[in-house]
Amino acid sequence: MTTIIPLVILWAGMIVIVDDVYWLALVLSIPAAAFTVRLFIIQHDCGHHSFFRSPRLNDLVGRLIGVVTLTPHEYWRRSHNTHHATCGNLEKRGIGDINILTVAEYQASSWWQRLAYRIYRTPLVLFGIGPIYLFVIKYRFPLDLVRQRPALLVGIMGTNIGIVAITLILGFSFGFLDVLMLQIPVILLSSTIGVWLFYVQHQFEETYWRKKKNWNIHEASVMASSYYDLPQPLRWFSGNIGVHHIHHLSCRIPNYRLGACLAELPALKSLNRISLRESFACIRLALWDENSQRLVSFKSARKLSPST
């Protein structure tokens, strides 16, 4: 309720002033996007069946929230749990991850493959085009898991129908143009913030990637995930998801217990800790160097000899 009620109030205020004071509606879209991110974190916990005690209640609430966050619950739950099960495994990349190449793979690629990867890793694509593509386009019909599990299509189509229904109701009630003028900024901001959080949680210099024979799920859970130490109120809006190493170690801990868990484990307060200021340096990191066991930039990779 502390998330849904303020979000509804903000949206109602925005629709009242959208025609007369649009700039103020745009200002209000910033906290509206923040509450949308928090709502997504609740859906995230529902996907792990950790927010409520009842698995059925978790799935019901997750499905309902998915209509607001544009994220089909069952598909995302399957994809994200695959990410948890394979995090840090170089031979299991591809589902629920941000694409990453090793230095050796990049050096062995053709010029056009390198160009495509470099474009993909630019901030404009990762935090601009990418989030919109992911939430607005891909999640409408995500083929990666649907081919393997056609039953997921039911939940995906259910979410799509819910999105269309809400859009029609709001559009006929307040005007489709006004609704789009409000929702587009909220979607842009919230999707970018969501991808940024996920990026910083795993794409930091001293993260963890191993070949399958040397990979350990418990080690990877802690070492491949950061502790994104955000100040308040950002910590609250992000649902403590910055305490990501503990979350990966035990994803059944709900977001509202992660702070208490961190307080009980002092050793993890400094492990993989990244402050808000430090997190922006992660943007330049793009390749995993298996020799130094670090994420490196394209500039640093050019200084490295091809791996054998």
- pLDDT tens digit string along 210-220? 999 999 999 99
Enter the pTM of the model.
0.93
* Contact assessment for residue 98 and residue 79, using Cβ atoms and an 8 Å cutoff: no
Whether 38 maps to a domain, the answer reads yes
What's the rounded Cα separation, in Å, for the pair 108 and 201? 28
What's the rounded Cα separation, in Å, for the pair 49 and 197? 21
pLDDT of residue 305: 57
Reported as a pLDDT band with limits 50, 70 and 90, residue 307 is very low
* Contact assessment for residue 219 and residue 208, using Cβ atoms and an 8 Å cutoff: yes
Mean pLDDT of 161-188: 96
Whether 86 maps to a domain, the answer reads yes
Whether 75 maps to a domain, the answer reads yes
- The angle formed by the CA atoms of residues 206, 95 and 148, to the nearest 5 degrees, is 160
Whether 308 maps to a domain, the answer reads no
- Chain-wide mean pLDDT for the chain? 94
Q: In the chain, how many domains are there?
A: 1
* Contact assessment for residue 294 and residue 101, using Cβ atoms and an 8 Å cutoff: no
Whether 101 maps to a domain, the answer reads yes
pLDDT of residue 306: 56
Reported as a pLDDT band with limits 50, 70 and 90, residue 146 is confident
Reported as a pLDDT band with limits 50, 70 and 90, residue 162 is very high
* Contact assessment for residue 269 and residue 253, using Cβ atoms and an 8 Å cutoff: no
Helices (H), the chain: 4-17, 22-47, 55-69, 73-86, 103-108, 111-120, 123-124, 130-132, 143-146, 152-174, 176-202, 217-223, 234-237, 244-249, 255-264, 276-279, 298-302
Whether 307 maps to a domain, the answer reads no
Whether 168 maps to a domain, the answer reads yes
pLDDT digit string, tens, across residues 253-273: 999 999 999 999 988 999 999
Residue 308 has pLDDT above 80, yes or no: no
What's the rounded Cα separation, in Å, for the pair 219 and 197? 21
Q: Of the given ranges (62-66, 88-92, 93-97, 216-220), which has the lowest mean pLDDT?
A: 93-97
Whether 90 maps to a domain, the answer reads yes
Structural domain span for residue 76 = 4-302
